[in-house]
Structure 1
Amino acid sequence: MSELKPVTGDVAELRRVFSCFPSGIAAVCTLTDDGPAGLAASSFTTVSIDPPLVSVCIQNTSTTWPVLRGHPRIGISVLAQDHESLGRQLASKHGDRFAGVAWEATSQGAVHVHGSTAWLDCSLHAEVPAGDHLIALLEIHRMSADPAAAPLIFHASTFRRLHVVS
């Protein structure tokens, strides 16, 4: 193990350390009057069975979250390994984040990406301030999954694929 270093404001080193934890990528999306709006979240996690809750962490500077949080339903799509370009599009600050993306919306406006490994239809349950982010707790109302679809993984600041060991 390398020598443990104190956290002294070295943001690059802290990000490098955080990047060692692999995570999936979730598309967090809703339907607005102007079409779909969404963002990519690598901080998606399950929270509770009763009530059914998941969370995503959102930067306080996000201009997309204020749009999403104002709608009755928010769709979560756990991206599949073939969604690497979509992961980059949704993380981009410029351009049409949904160009060339196959998606559909529920009657209440949750947007789901085709080909994902799981889909959740959620509403905002609570927000918790957390440093330079906020933790959005989302209550699940409906769900579906395709466990056979391999997930997209984010590790060491790059997209990766799972390798199945038999």
Structure 2
Amino acid sequence: MIAGRRRPEREDRLVNPSASTVEPDHFRHVLGHFATGVTAVTALDPASNRPVGLTVNSFASVSLRPPLVSFCVGRGSGSWPIMRTADRLCVNILGVEQQAVCERMATARVDRFRGLDWELSPGGAPVLAGVVAWVEGAVEAEHDAGDHVIVVLRVHHLHGRPDGQPLLFLRGRYGRFAH
């Protein structure tokens, strides 16, 4: 409770909390005011042993004990049904110079790894060359969330470059910190 203020009574609760008058375009515009980092989540397809990946900007730390992170994947993703069966996934935190990697990982029906350098994490997930940091883990849980799935990873290995500058996304544009 904020000092000097009482919390209002909850009589104003919606009868149907799933009903909303918020338009998707307006929702996207308003939430676009929140800067996010940009990641590429990667895995090896267990059936073909080929790398698969997708772009994600809804990445977050969840817990220190145990070490958990999360990201959200759209239900229409063609890559996620393959990736979710892998033993390990890697969240690659893209650097400011990796906008082209971000766009490649977001493009459907292309070989997203063509021309990209990568190596395997200790647990066997692709780590993209030049990323500012990476977090490798195993799927701990998935939660339904509207038109997305919230994925929780238990972290097994991670690494960050001390000199890396992350790629940022704000109001539909890519950018960087100005020092």
The reply to whether TM is greater than 0.5 is: yes
TM-score normalized by the length of structure 1: 0.90
Alignment partner of 1:42 out of 52, 57, 63: 57
Which of residues 115, 127, 148 in structure 2 aligns to 1:100?
115
Alpha-carbon distance in structure 1 between the residues aligned to 2:118 and 2:26: 37
- Equivalent positions of 1:85-124 (< 5 A) are 85-106=100-121, 108-124=123-139
Distance 1:9 1:21 in 2: 18
157, 162, 165: which one aligns with 1:150: 165
More strand by share: 1
Residue 31 (1) aligns with residue 47 (2): no
- Look up the equivalent residue of 1:92 and give its one-letter code: T
User: Shift of residue 119 of structure 1?
Assistant: 1.1
Q: 4+ runs of 1 displaced by more than 2 Å?
A: 106-109
Aligned 1:4-19 pairs, distance under 5 A: 8-19=21-32
1:135 maps to 150
Q: Distance in 1 between matches of 2:31 and 2:87?
A: 32
> Rg: which structure is higher?
2
Q: 3-state DSSP class of the match of 2:108?
A: coil
1:63: Cα distance to partner? 1.3
Q: Tell me how far apart the structure 2 counterparts of residues 14 and 83 of structure 1 sit (CA, whole Å).
A: 27
2:85 maps to which residue?
A: 70
- Aligned partner of 1:4 in structure 2 is none
Q: Which amino acid aligns with 1:122?
A: G
Inter-partner Cα distance in structure 2 for 1:108 and 1:28? 14
Contact 1:31 1:105 survives alignment (8 Å): no
Give the distance between the partners of 1:42 and 1:147, measured in 2 at CA: 21
Give the gaps of 5 or more residues in structure 2. 1-19
Residue equivalent to 1:52: 67
Q: Residues 157, 83 of structure 1: CA spacing in aligned structure 2 closer, same or farther, 3 A cutoff?
A: same
RMSD: 1.3
Q: Percent identity?
A: 34
Structure 2 residue matching 1:82: 3-state secondary structure: coil
How many residues end up aligned between the 2 structures? Answer: 158
Deviation at 1:81, TM superposition (A): 0.4
Aligned residue for 1:161? 176
Residue 178 of structure 2 aligns to a residue whose secondary structure is coil
Deviations 1:24-67 (A, max 9, x none): 01110011225210001000011100000000011111111111
Normalising by structure 2, what TM-score? 0.84
Distance 1:115 1:48 in 2: 26
